[in-house]
Structures are given as structure tokens and as C-alpha cells.
Structure 1
């Protein structure tokens, strides 16, 4: 008896002395300081990465970026394609232990389209019955075609059959929100200690210009499959600094890679350098509220024609980007990207045409001076691109360019409110694989994302018609015609189709390249 007691005591002493199992921690670079973590008010890619960890929509994405079940485990659609019924996951709860209900989705979707929310993504749910009218202040939020049939059944009625509707439901704009928490805390519902989330992680800390710390959510429906215990997101606008932090071991993943460092990284860190096609276009928007741009499409065209996109992608960016002469990227499903006539010209021909268009209106070398203010968010990559383009405009057209950069949050506000003078940097990542996710940005009534204030009634007619057209061939033809109209009007300057570039430590497992560059932490692990 005494011997057994002593043996048990010895074992207990050993167990007491053994260290607790080490936490698995991931450190991610995340670009600029988050604009906000409110899913209805954020617009940037970096914010969405954090939100994918915190929340789960009706649908979500696997490691390859493929659509899979999220908060809903089953759904059906009526024969006329207008009514969807989603069955929520049984037993699914918020991180505070309260159930995730259909009413949480109803509350969140009404909040998104409510003009009082002032969401730049309100248009995202315009396919839902009355949602567009609500966001324009013509109907109350309660008129939206979404209802909680019971705690686990969400019924959605659309304006017209919408082929991409289900695939759009993984986007942050469509997340449910915990109604009780939002009503209790107001705008502070998103702060640590207040936020109830239904994703794989919860919000533990948010230190301005420092880090966002997330910890594993033990109440997540697949918590047993989530390997990483904590994930830190670090804002670092200077990409050179971010790369140094990666090389020193402070970061496991970078937001991207400085363009000037791509050749060196390819040569010296190839194993950790990840490049993948990206469903995204880099472009400049021209402010059509201001002169001389508002009344002179020739000047807008001249700026676009004079940019040598081959030099830009080969000498400046250098990661494999594809020169762009249209807005929608290649790889868009059921769509043949239309090209303007000048896309097939030599650069010398484009330059000659650009000079002729300038001279036609008295501008150019020897003519009236033309100055352009080019605004971009603080980033070495954006700065180098802007310098190269300013040089092309100066040498070929005699245009003097003033470069102006702003911190991310300020930049987003300036661009969204069209307070920039002439030209502003822009980029768009497709929210689902369909041309509409690109073309809808330039609808004249899409005030949240139409940063050029572009308005063409025929373009609007075609894009709005495509939104409700059930015949795939007719819908495709309408969108292709609409894009050609827009390209002839030159409200934007397409520059190139992105590739995603990231540094990923060899210790990180589960990072899979995908066309939208979305990598939920729940699918990854870290070997230390």
C-alpha cells in the first residue's frame, strides 16, 4: 500500500514538473492599420483576412479557396430561382455561448443595406428583394426579402434569379452579427471584450499601430480541427520593413513582397516565396466630378494610352503581373474579356495617338500646361508605380504630375468621398468569379464603390439588365458590351492584373495558393 502511494506521489511530482503543452502561434503581416473590423464598414483586403478568422458566413472557403458549407449546412432554391432556404448548423453558437440564429442574419443584412449604416458594400445584397430600394432610402429595412422562418431557417427572396448569389455568401458583407451585442454596445461591439464572433477565433487584443491578437474559439463548431491557438496580425505599411521582420523570424507570413525585392527573393529565398495568379486588377480612377476630366474623354484616353504597361510589369513590378487594357481579369467564368482597339497597337502607336489627343485640345509640349495630382496610399510598391507613370506622362505628353500619398484610413475616406483632385490608385479583388463583381462597381448608383463618379445610361442599362438576366449567353453578351462602352469612356486606367506575392515560412503548413489569395488561419499549422 505504502509502495503504491509513493509511486503515485512520484508520478504526480513528475507531471507537476512537466511544462504545459506549448501554444501554437502564427504571426502574420497584414499591410496597413485596419480601417475597422466592422464587417459592414470595412473595404480593405487586410481587414477581410482578420474577419475571415473571426466570423463565418452562410458559406465559407477551404484552404484551396473552394466554396464550402459555413454557418449553413444545407440550402435549397425554388424552381423559379427566386427563393432560397438556408438551414443553419445545429448547435452553432457565438463565442459568448448564445445561439447563432436566423434572426442574427436578418438583423445583419438589414443593417448592411440601411442607409444609416453608410456601408460601401450595401450594393452587395442588392440582388435581395427590395434591398436596393432600401439602401437608396426608398423603403424601410424591414421590407427586405429576408426572414427567419424559425431559429435555424433563413428564407431569402431575390429580385430575379442570380447565378452568383450563393457563391457571394462567404463575403464579409454577408456575415451574421450578434444582435444582442450590437444593440448593447453600439459601434463598440467590435472591440475586444465586447465582440462575440462565430468563427474559428475570437478577438483578444487590438493595439493601434501594434497588433491584432486572435485566440482560438473553443465554441467554434470545428474547434477540434483548428491547430493554431493564437494568431497575431501586424500592420506594416512599409513593405521593406515587413520583409526584414520576416527574415528576422518575427513574421511567419507577409502581406506581400516589395516589388524591388522580388528578384533578390527569387534568387535567395525561393522556397519561401509564393507567387500565384490573382483575381484582381490594379487600376487608376479618374475623378469625373472635376475638370478638365469631366468634359474631356480625350484627355482621359491620352493618360491611359501613354502608359507602357509592358515596361511597368517587366521593369517596375516584376513578379509576373499581366498588362491590362480592360477591367475584368482573364479567368472570369463564362466571359470573354473585351479589349479596346488600341490594346493591339504598338506602344509607339499608342504614344502617337495620345499626343494627338492632347494637341487636339491645346495641351502637350508647346501647348497649355497640364498638371495631374496622383494620389496613392502609403506603400513603396504604389510609390514606384506612380513614379514610373509620372515619368511616362512627363516625357511623352509634357504632363507634370504631383505625387501625393496618404495613410490607409485617410486614403480610403478621401477616395470613397471623391475628395481627390485628379487621379487615384485603385484595385479590386473579385468577390466571386463573375464579371458582375467588377462591372457593378461602375454603376452610377453604386456610390460606395464608383470612385470615378462614372455615369453612362447605356452602361447602367446593360449592367442592371445583366443582373436579372437568367439566360447565360444573353447575360454574357450584355456585360461584354457594357465593358466595351466603359473602356471607350475611360473613367479608369487599367494597368495590370495582379499576382499575389507572399513570403511564407517553411514552418507554416497548410498555406495553399488560390486565385483570391484568401488563407483562413483555421487550415494552417506552425512547426517550431
Structure 2
């Protein structure tokens, strides 16, 4: 994975401050199809090759469309393609694209738009944080590693509206994978017109999804999604507009909801108890994870004993019970109730078991060894978080736990805007970073090979880990039982042996929703909202 930063503190973790409000009734008595939505973090980009935060992801998933999308039951269905045929060995997919699909500037969406975007994604020169998503595509890994040219990627246009995709090995989650933003097309003419400025503002982007983005300059904290008049299925889009504003103060969300100015409000940790008996309150476990990631290019965090000490030294049960009020402790990188073995139907997390639990005795043992190897009894490190309320609270909790449980450790907490935090992490300008991440498809490998773990492809070069992932993707691709056990071994190498990442908790989502909002969908993989089927009644 190339600098995977989908840290998702843009969505704040267990809960956030996303809100949607309906517009006032028109004089005719019919409600306007307008929602007003607040998110707690700024948007970073509208480029599918550069995004690594949830606010940007939500914008992309509502304004772009790939070969597949989720239907009202959150199942993948054909979208940009009207038909698909699969080869007997299940490695080659041939798509007929919709000839009525157009970009928001009127250009047709063609097979070359997909080829161009995908080749750009895996090009090492792009340094996309999402390039690892192309590992299942033929030659995707070798191209991202600079060993093959981009033209060798397993995708080609075999006609203006016919696209062929070839995989390294069969995968059971192909359609789910294709719903993701990294697999959306790009309009080559527009991308090359704006160069490095493409995606830096609403005006310097074109869209092929149900909505277009308006009024985002690249730095402002308000923008809108407007129904795309060129969308091939525009007749099924009920909303006229979704107004978006960044609201970082969680108390504002509750007040707006209470005064009937919002129809939907995500609740942050401080407000779950306050609103849990309110009409419209909902809460559920989701496959979003909170984690700490280490910069292994720095002396202290490069030490495996130091990383293990950190990973074992904080009370996860107390965090969930006393701070988050939702979710559950996480002792592996893959959450529970997310992925199930297709052969045995077993939950992956149950089969894999606990890997990094709160264990003060073992933490202090590792801490003693770390201080010995680092040659110091006093070690200072910085913990970086975004400046959302939830992230700062988690950071403060971790700071207190680590300093109390590991004598001689001093933790400096720095909370900065998400966009700045992402830039700092990309540039390796951190010791430890706390963030959240939600998956892209329902398979354990999505977390194990990615999971928001910063620079996992750049900086984690354990040969056993890579070999196990390769076997899971090739040798055992059609053997679900062997593949399952191989992924468990890879996770053990990553966490138990190397502590490359420290899992913190599995998120829960608590929100308030008024009955007049119909069809507002939440991604099956986290907290992203889908507006395609939403309406106001």
C-alpha cells in the first residue's frame, strides 16, 4: 500500500457530527428536496487518486460512479456498466458500459476513462494512498513497486464502451471491491487540463455520479451536492441539493436537532448518553476501527519492544465504557462481525482470537527492554491526532494511560486539522498517530494489508508477512479454509510479533434521524452517507 492514509478521523471514529436537515416547506405545501448536512472535518480532495479521508470519500461516492454501486439493501449492483460476463477461470471480467453515461460536462464516459484512471492509480509517480487496492488486479503489485510499466495492468479498452479486467487470481469480493472510489473512472481531458490542480476545487473536477459538487474552493468549509443533470439515471434521484458545512463543535449538532433545524445528526461520545432516550435515536456496531500507527523511521518507534509496550499499556475496556459509550475493545486489526468464512461461516475475529490485549505486566516487561535497547530511562514522543472532539478525547486518554503505565515515558499530544494531520503523516512527520479507518469491502485482507496502517507498503517489509499475503491471494485463492488460516498467520506476524500497528477499539455509530427523511443510506463498511436514494417526505 502506498502511503495508505485513510485514517478516517475525518469522520471522527465511533461517532461524528454529520447532520442532514430538510429544507422548509414550499408555498405549495410540498417539501423541497434539500438536505443540510454537517461534517466535523474539512474535505481534502476531489481526486479519486489522492483521497485518504472520509469527508472526501463521502463526496466522491456521491458524485462519482464506478462499474458497481450499492443498492438500497447495500448489495453491489451494476452501475456504470450494464452487463458483465466472467471467464470460466473467473479471472477475466468483460463489461459493457452504459452508452448513456456522461460526465457532468457532457462528455461520454468510455472504457478509456477507466483505463486512464486505474493506470494512474498504480503509477508509482502518483504515490496514491490507495494503490494497494489494486493488488488483486493483474500486475497491480509489480507496477506499484516500479517493476512493470503501467500499461501491463490488467485492464484494457476493447471498444469504446467495452472494458476488460483481468485478476491475478479469482476473488469472491470482486463486485464489492469495484464499488470503491479508487476504481472510479477519470476524464483524461479534464485531468490533463488542470494537471496538479485537478480535484483541488469543485470547479476543477468533473463528475459522472448522481450529484456534482458545487462551491468548494479547496479550503472553504461549506459546499453542496447538486443533482447531476447529465447522470444516466437522474430520474431516480429525488434530492435536488445537499448543503454541507463543517461543524466541529458537537454541542451545536444536538441544539440544531432539538430545534428541528436538522433531520439527522451523528452523535459524538459526549452526547450519546444525553440523547439515547430521544425519539429517533439509533445505535449500531460498525466495522470502523480506531488505532495507533507508528513511524518506524524514527529511533524510538522503530524499536519493536517500544511498539509492543505502547500496544499493551492502555485499558481498552475503560476507554469504551467511560469515554466512547459505544463500540467495543479491539485486540486485532480486523473487527468482529465483519468478515465470515465462506466455507465455515465463522467470524474471522472469533477464529483469529485476541492478539494485542491490555496487559500491564507484559507492557512493562517490553518497556524495560525498550529502554535498555534505546539507552535511556526517559523517552519523549509525540502523539498526533486530528482536532475533532472525539479524536482529542481519545488522544488525551491514551496520553494519560501511557504516561501512567510506562514510567519514564512523556507523551506530547498534538491535535491539528485533519488535512494538516494527513499531510504530516504522509511526510513521516510524526512519532505515533491516532486515527480511525473503515473498510472498502468485506474481507479480512482489506484490514490486514491496509486498515489505515500508515506506510505499510513503504516501511513494513517483513518477508513472512508478504509471503503469507501472496499465498492467500494466489495459492489459496480458491481454498477458503487455507486462505483463512493464512490470513490469521499474517495478522499475527503484523501485530503479535511486530506490533506495526496498535489496535484500539471497534467503533459504534449513534445518530438521531427524523421520520421525514426516507432512504438515507449508511455504508455497510462504516459511516459514509449515500444520498442517491434519499428523499424528504
Residue 155 (structure 2) pairs with residue 155 (structure 1): no
Sort the Cα spacing of 1:339 and 1:455 in 2 relative to 1 into closer, same or farther, 3 A: farther
Following superposition, the deviation at residue 127 of structure 1 comes to 2.0
- SS at 1:109 equivalent: helix
Which one has the largest radius of gyration? Answer: 1
Sort the Cα spacing of 1:246 and 1:19 in 2 relative to 1 into closer, same or farther, 3 A: closer
Following superposition, the deviation at residue 80 of structure 1 comes to 1.7
Q: Kindly report which structure 2 residues correspond to 1:460-471, keeping only aligned pairs within 5 A, or say none.
A: 460-468=466-474, 469-470=476-477, 471=479
- Report the counterpart of residue 483 of structure 2 in structure 1: 475
Q: 1:289 aligns with which of 271, 275, 297?
A: 297
Residue 252 (structure 2) pairs with residue 238 (structure 1): no
Distance 1:301 1:223 in 2: 52
Residue 226 (structure 2) pairs with residue 226 (structure 1): no
Following superposition, the deviation at residue 134 of structure 1 comes to 2.3
Following superposition, the deviation at residue 213 of structure 1 comes to 1.2
Following superposition, the deviation at residue 282 of structure 1 comes to 0.9
CA contact (8 A) 1:64 1:513 kept: no
**Residues 173-196 of structure 1: per-residue CA shift (max 9 Å, x gap):** 100112222223334443444433
Following superposition, the deviation at residue 52 of structure 1 comes to 1.4
- Report the counterpart of residue 31 of structure 1 in structure 2: 40
Q: Kindly report which structure 2 residues correspond to 1:304-453, keeping only aligned pairs within 5 A, or say none.
A: 304-319=311-326, 321-331=327-337, 332-334=339-341, 336-337=348-349, 338-340=352-354, 343=357, 350-362=359-371, 368-398=377-407, 399-421=409-431, 423-441=432-450, 449-450=455-456, 453=459
Structural RMSD (CA): 2.5
- Report the counterpart of residue 15 of structure 1 in structure 2: none
CA contact (8 A) 1:57 1:176 kept: yes
Distance 2:523 2:114 in 1: 28
- SS at 1:75 equivalent: strand
**Residues 318-362 of structure 1: per-residue CA shift (max 9 Å, x gap):** 02x11111110112122532234664xxx6xx2222223323455
- SS at 1:495 equivalent: strand
Distance 2:28 2:348 in 1: 60
Distance 2:399 2:131 in 1: 35
- Report the counterpart of residue 214 of structure 1 in structure 2: 225
CA contact (8 A) 2:32 2:536 kept: no
- SS at 1:149 equivalent: strand
Following superposition, the deviation at residue 298 of structure 1 comes to 2.5
CA contact (8 A) 1:64 1:514 kept: no
Sort the Cα spacing of 1:114 and 1:241 in 2 relative to 1 into closer, same or farther, 3 A: same
Distance 1:520 1:406 in 2: 28
CA contact (8 A) 1:441 1:449 kept: no
Unaligned runs of 5+ in 2: 1-26, 342-346
Sort the Cα spacing of 1:19 and 1:514 in 2 relative to 1 into closer, same or farther, 3 A: closer
Sort the Cα spacing of 1:487 and 1:394 in 2 relative to 1 into closer, same or farther, 3 A: same
Sort the Cα spacing of 1:459 and 1:405 in 2 relative to 1 into closer, same or farther, 3 A: same
Distance 2:196 2:367 in 1: 49
Sort the Cα spacing of 1:452 and 1:278 in 2 relative to 1 into closer, same or farther, 3 A: farther
**TM-score normalised to structure 2 length:** 0.86
- Report the counterpart of residue 208 of structure 2 in structure 1: 198
Residue 105 (structure 2) pairs with residue 96 (structure 1): yes
- Report the counterpart of residue 13 of structure 1 in structure 2: none
CA contact (8 A) 1:57 1:175 kept: yes
CA contact (8 A) 1:416 1:451 kept: no
Distance 1:39 1:242 in 2: 29
CA contact (8 A) 2:521 2:531 kept: no
**Residues 210-249 of structure 1: per-residue CA shift (max 9 Å, x gap):** 3111211122222111111011121223333444444445
**Residues 282-323 of structure 1: per-residue CA shift (max 9 Å, x gap):** 11112222222323x22322222221111000000002x111
Distance 1:152 1:486 in 2: 42
CA contact (8 A) 1:373 1:403 kept: yes
Higher RCO structure (Cα 8 Å, ≥6 apart): 2
Following superposition, the deviation at residue 411 of structure 1 comes to 0.3
Size of the aligned set, in residue pairs, is 493
- Report the counterpart of residue 8 of structure 1 in structure 2: none
Following superposition, the deviation at residue 266 of structure 1 comes to 0.9
Distance 2:157 2:274 in 1: 55
- SS at 2:532 equivalent: helix
Q: 2:124 aligns with which of 92, 100, 115?
A: 115
